[in-house]
Amino acid sequence: MGKGGGKCQLRAIVWWRPCRFVIMKNFMTGSFQHNIDAKGRITVPARLREQLGDAFYLTKGTDGCIFAYPEEEWEAFLMKLCSLPISQAAAVQRHFISNSSLVEPDSMGRILIPKNLREYAALEKDTMFLGVGRRAEIWSAGKYEEQAQLLTQESILETMSAVMI
């Protein structure tokens, strides 16, 4: 075993791979177009439904969308949010926590989006579900297209270089 010890190196590899696997398997990806019905119900895409679980949380997001969190991710998000001093985070806590709702897909995979969230996200008929890592987002199709137009190659490259991708 030379200098630095192969044994430590092996531990690092064994430790790293399971953590990497766990993180990657829970990432939500993809975009899906769905319609919301007159009662405010929408079918959750099967691929996202598997990752969101039997029950998950909806809340106001940013940029006028709705965030959807699996229960474990919601709890982790709340722990981080509630650990901030109230003097710095009260408005943000109200934004996310007081507007949250636990939803459960029915036998057809549909959820009822609460009226306050539908109004916030301006959901009418055409909607987009996006998998964005540890959460999903629900957008009005028109609002999503507007946001997508604001994204430039320069801003993408700037963000990527900031996180060293």
Quick: pLDDT tens for 129-149.
999 999 999 999 999 999 888
> Could you list the residue range(s) of the whole structural domain that residue 135 is in?
29-162
10 part of a folded domain = no
Percent of the chain at pLDDT above 70? 83
Q: Give the model's pLDDT for residue 155.
A: 77
- In this structure, how many other beta carbons lie within 10 angstroms of the beta carbon of residue 87? 6
Q: Give the model's pLDDT for residue 165.
A: 60
Rounded to the nearest 5 degrees, what angle is found at the Cα of 68, between the Cα atoms of 64 and 73?
130
Answer yes or no: is pLDDT of 34 > 80.
Answer: yes
2 part of a folded domain = no
Average pLDDT of the residues of the chain: 83
8 part of a folded domain = no
CATH number at 154 reads 3.40.1550.20
In 18-131, DSSP assigns E strands to 31-35, 41-43, 56-60, 66-70, 101-103, 110-112, 126-131
Q: Give the model's pLDDT for residue 52.
A: 93
3-state secondary structure of 21: helix
104 part of a folded domain = yes
Answer yes or no: is pLDDT of 1 > 60.
Answer: no
Q: Give the model's pLDDT for residue 25.
A: 60
| Predicted structure pTM score | 0.78
pLDDT band at 7 (very low <50, low <70, confident <90, very high): very low
How many domains does the chain divide into?
1
3-state secondary structure of 142: helix
11 part of a folded domain = no
3-state secondary structure of 117: helix
pLDDT tens figures, 60-90? 999 999 999 999 999 999 999 989 898 888 9
